[in-house]
């Protein structure tokens, strides 16, 4: 990325800050496949304590953490239930069927979120032996394809009740959970007590170069160590990367409000642009919008690129902008200025 470029395609594009790099360089490391990396152990203990859950495990990616959770909670031929826009269904290369041999039942939710009553309506009766056995519910907070939308916590509680009544496991894809916690003023403990497992990404809004965590019971995490190895995710002196995660949790959580404020300012500028037909509600750091039907999306992207501003198309006429740690007020002003003066 050149110095002048303003890259808003994702919050995954950030580079470690000098302070984070310095902290990483100081990490004490060991061979984590032997469970002997003190910095990895410290990160896992830190996040488990934060959420009030028994244990946690460090993963190279959010995808591997989610796929491990699916493997933990299901048997081949069973069914997981998720929203039609969920990451586990749309963007994990079909891993649920490949790794765990399960099918997905999709709920037609709103911005990636559904109601407990919708869930209750799609659970297969276990007595009907010819139907796949429903065994797992996956929710995503914030929702990616849903434009950074945050769940209503009371709905998540209602879903938990439906899960308990039907003996379903409950997994949270919390790739951007910290964005939701900051936006809604909620605590990690609230989430730790609700879910059987939670995945968290350190490499999105939190600004670490790599890394995700899976949180669950000690028994599940003990099993997850084997599954992670089976998936090729056992890592050696990985404490250098875990250190980035520790640094991110200590320094990059509260500042997420800045990303959210900047996203709202961009949303206002987009609403005023003659190109833009509709901007989805903005709750966190993701903005999804649509152009007027007669306007060419490629021309819009090209016009922005002339000013070294990059955003991404989501398909179906939707465009996405994501604010992040490497996007500052000066850049915000420039993007607003370009949007305001863009000819069509």
Ligand X SMILES: Cc1ncc(COP(=O)(O)O)c(C=O)c1O
Q: Does 260 bind ligand X (CB under 6 A)?
A: no
Q: Does 62 bind ligand X (CB under 6 A)?
A: yes
Q: CB-wise, 13 or 253, nearer to ligand X?
A: 13
Q: CB-wise, 204 or 290, nearer to ligand X?
A: 204
Burial class (CB in 10 A: 0-12, 13-18, 19+), 11: buried
Q: CB-wise, 273 or 285, nearer to ligand X?
A: 285
CB of 52 to ligand X, least distance (A): 22
188-207 binders of ligand X (CB under 6 A): 201, 203
104-143 binders of ligand X (CB under 6 A): 140
Distance of CA 169 to the CA centre of its chain: 19
Among 7, 68, 100, 212, binds ligand X (CB under 6 A): 212
298/312 Cα distance (integer angstroms): 10
Q: CB-wise, 62 or 245, nearer to ligand X?
A: 62
Q: Which of 281, 203, 210, 288 is nearest to 11 (CA)?
A: 203
| Cβ-proximal residue to ligand X, closest one | 62
Q: Report the chain's terminal Cα–Cα distance, integer Å.
A: 27
CB of 63 to ligand X, least distance (A): 3
Residues binding ligand X: what is the number (CB under 6 A)?
Answer: 12
- For residues 82 and 106, the answer to whether their CB atoms sit within 8 Å is yes
Q: Which of 260, 279, 341 is nearest to 304 (CA)?
A: 341
63/138 Cα distance (integer angstroms): 13
Q: CB-wise, 173 or 259, nearer to ligand X?
A: 173
- The secondary structure of 135-167 as a DSSP string is EEEEEESSBTTTTSB---HHHHHHHHHHHHHTT
Cβ neighbours of 152 (radius 10 Å): 11
Q: CB-wise, 144 or 273, nearer to ligand X?
A: 144
156-185 binders of ligand X (CB under 6 A): 173, 175
Q: CB-wise, 209 or 336, nearer to ligand X?
A: 209
171/139 Cα distance (integer angstroms): 7
CB of 201 to ligand X, least distance (A): 5
Among 135, 144, 169, 220, binds ligand X (CB under 6 A): 144
Going residue by residue from 72 to 111, which x/- string records binding to ligand X, judged by CB under 6 A?
---------------x------------------------
Q: CB-wise, 153 or 342, nearer to ligand X?
A: 153
- For residues 122 and 166, the answer to whether their CB atoms sit within 8 Å is no
262/255 Cα distance (integer angstroms): 11
Q: Does 323 bind ligand X (CB under 6 A)?
A: no
Binding footprint of ligand X on the chain (CB under 6 A): 61-63, 66, 87, 140, 144, 173, 175, 201, 203, 212
């Amino acid at each position: 990325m050149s110095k002048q470029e303003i890259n808003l395609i994702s919050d995954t594009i950030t580079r470690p800050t000098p302070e984070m790099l310095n902290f990483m360089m100081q990490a004490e490391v060991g061979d984590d496949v032997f469970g002997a990396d003190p910095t990895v152990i410290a990160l896992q203990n830190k996040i488990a304590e934060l959420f009030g859950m028994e244990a946690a495990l460090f993963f190279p990616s959010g995808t591997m953490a989610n796929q491990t959770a699916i493997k933990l909670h299901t048997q081949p031929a069973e069914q997981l239930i998720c929203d039609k826009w969920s990451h586990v269904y749309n963007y994990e290369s079909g891993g649920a069927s490949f790794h765990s041999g399960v099918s997905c039942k999709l709920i037609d939710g709103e911005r990636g979120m559904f109601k407990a009553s919708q869930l209750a309506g799609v659970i297969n009766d276990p007595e009907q032996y010819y139907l796949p056995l429903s065994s797992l519910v996956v929710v995503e907070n914030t929702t990616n394809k849903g434009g950074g939308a945050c769940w209503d916590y009371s709905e998540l509680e209602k879903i938990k009740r439906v899960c308990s009544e039907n003996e379903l496991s409950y997994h949270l894809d919390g790739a951007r959970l910290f964005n939701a916690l900051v936006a809604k003023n909620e605590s990690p403990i609230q989430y730790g007590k609700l879910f059987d497992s939670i995945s968290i990404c350190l490499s999105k809004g939190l600004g670490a170069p790599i890394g995700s965590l899976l949180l669950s019971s000690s028994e599940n995490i003990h099993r997850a160590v084997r599954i992670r190895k089976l998936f090729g995710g056992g890592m050696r002196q990985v404490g250098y990367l875990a250190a980035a995660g520790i640094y991110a949790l200590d320094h990059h959580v509260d500042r997420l409000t800045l990303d959210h404020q900047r996203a709202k300012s961009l949303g206002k500028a987009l609403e005023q642009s003659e190109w833009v037909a509709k901007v989805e509600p903005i709750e966190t750091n993701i903005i999804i919008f649509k152009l007027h039907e007669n306007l060419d999306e490629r021309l819009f992207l090209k016009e922005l690129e002339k000013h070294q501003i990059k955003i991404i198309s989501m398909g179906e006429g939707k465009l996405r902008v994501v604010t992040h740690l490497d996007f500052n007020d000066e850049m915000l002003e420039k993007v607003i200025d370009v949007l305001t003066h863009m000819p069509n």
